Amino acid sequence: MKRPQLSVVVPCYNEEACLDMLHARVSAAARAAVGESYEIVFVNDGSRDRSWDVMQRLSAADPHLVAINLSRNHGHQLALTAGLDLCAGEQILIIDADLQDPPELLTEMRATMAAQGADVVYAVRRKREGESLFKKATAAVFYRMLDRITDTPIPLDTGDFRLMSRRALDALLSLPEQARFIRGMVAWIGFRQVPFVYDRHERHAGETKYPLGKMIRFALDAITGFSTAPLRFASHVGLLLTAASVLLILYILIAWAMGHAIQGWTSTMLVVVVIGAVQMFVLGMIGEYLGRLYVESKRRPLYLIADVAGPVQGHASLGYRHQDSGAVSVSPQARHNDAAE
Ligand code: UDP
Ligand code: MG
């Protein structure tokens, strides 16, 4: 199969008012960048408005447009995953349907990618127009907190608007987890990733499709997917409590020796303090195991190889290889299969 040079993937939920303009602007930007060798993938994420009708109408008139209709609303990140799974391009642009992110930046993003030899060019928001103070404030706090508690450095003020190479996308798609926080997962895969600063515009039409409930779920997916810090919380409290209880025990014993304690107080206090500390400590231990179990259960590839120089002996044991993209990833599943052969 000959891959188109570019795929533009757009998740859409109740975006009927944006689709015509979106299609026109994305098509023009794609044509300006790569000529005819592009495809546009619209994913209808169970919209309740006429988005799917509009998509069908547009795709009937434009052979570059592929429209996908999901069975129901699966959420932004899964709709995006569906589009990424199905797209075929050598380079992939991810963009929202509401035109907050100008598709015309494509040319510059491609230039940055080529100039820096990057696999991912992620767009960083310098300004956000037309968004509520609440949204901006919660986003600012959230991304800064996330940065503190995860081991994966996830770029600040960055959405899903980005340009990726085929091998970076294949690496991303080799992460099999269910709860998908895509901007974090892209950060996790590594390769060369460079920022691209831009101003975010107002929505072309309609309301945000991220009400508070969805925002909270999204934040929880991000935190639990990229950090086991909340699970380790108990062990930290346990340690603190153990340290504090040593002082308390000293105090209790001194009070007892000096005869300040009433009958039964000493033993009761000792039991409360010691049991409390031990309990927290054991909870923390369970948290540590649970955290590791959770990391294992995601079954992410153990590592990804970007390049190989020189002959590699016995590379068949490297697990599966993305033949046409050059990215090599080793998944626990692939190792398992090797062992079975
Ligand atoms: N979206 C989606 N499914 C959802 C919610 C949102 O596919 O359940 C899409 C939406 O159509 C848009 C993108 O995700 O293309 C980002 O949503 P939105 O612009 O409403 O988020 P905001 O910019 O307000 O954070
Ligand atoms: Mg938006």
Q: What is the pLDDT of residues 321-339, one digit of tens each?
A: 444 445 555 554 544 444 4
Beta carbon of 75 within 6 Å of any ligand 1 atom: yes
> Positive or negative, the Cα torsion across 217, 223, 224, 225?
positive
Beta carbon of 76 within 6 Å of any ligand 1 atom: yes
Q: How far is the CA of 11 from the centre of ligand 1 (A)?
A: 7
Q: How far is the CA of 208 from the centre of ligand 1 (A)?
A: 7
For the CA of 183, the nearest ligand? 1
Spatial separation of the C-alpha atoms in residues 279 and 273, rounded to whole Å: 10
Spatial separation of the C-alpha atoms in residues 323 and 56, rounded to whole Å: 34
Q: How far is the CA of 24 from the centre of ligand 2 (A)?
A: 18
In ligand 1, which atom is closest to the CA atom of 96?
Answer: 15
Low-confidence ranges of the chain (pLDDT < 70): 314-341
pLDDT of residue 21: 93
In ligand 1, which atom is closest to the CA atom of 74?
Answer: 8
Tell the residue nearest (CA) to atom 14 of ligand 1: 76
Which residues have C-beta under 5 Å from ligand 2, the single-atom ion?
A: 96, 98, 100
Helix axes 76-86, 212-226, angle to 10 degrees: 60
> Positive or negative, the Cα torsion across 217, 222, 228, 234?
negative
Spatial separation of the C-alpha atoms in residues 266 and 319, rounded to whole Å: 62
* 3-class secondary structure, 158: strand
Spatial separation of the C-alpha atoms in residues 78 and 97, rounded to whole Å: 15
For the CA of 160, the nearest ligand? 1
Tokens at 171, concatenated: 């690496």
Beta carbon of 83 within 6 Å of any ligand 1 atom: no
Which of 26, 48, 96 should be mutated for ligand 1, with most atoms under 8 A from CB?
96
Angle at 120 between CA 115 and CA 126, to 5 degrees: 90
- Within 10 angstroms of residue 151's Cβ, the number of other Cβ atoms is 9
Q: How far is the CA of 164 from the centre of ligand 2 (A)?
A: 20
In ligand 1, which atom is closest to the CA atom of 14?
Answer: 11
Beta carbon of 12 within 6 Å of any ligand 1 atom: yes
CB 5 within 8 A of CB 28: no
Spatial separation of the C-alpha atoms in residues 83 and 86, rounded to whole Å: 5
Residue with tokens 């380790």: 232
Q: How far is the CA of 15 from the centre of ligand 1 (A)?
A: 9
pLDDT of residue 31: 95
Beta carbon of 95 within 6 Å of any ligand 1 atom: no
Beta carbon of 304 within 6 Å of any ligand 1 atom: no
In ligand 1, which atom is closest to the CA atom of 203?
Answer: 19
- The torsion angles phi and psi of 58, rounded to 5 degrees, stand at -65, -40
pLDDT of residue 212: 85
Spatial separation of the C-alpha atoms in residues 32 and 150, rounded to whole Å: 39
Which of 21, 133, 209 should be mutated for ligand 1, with most atoms under 8 A from CB?
209
Beta carbon of 160 within 6 Å of any ligand 1 atom: no
pLDDT of residue 331: 52
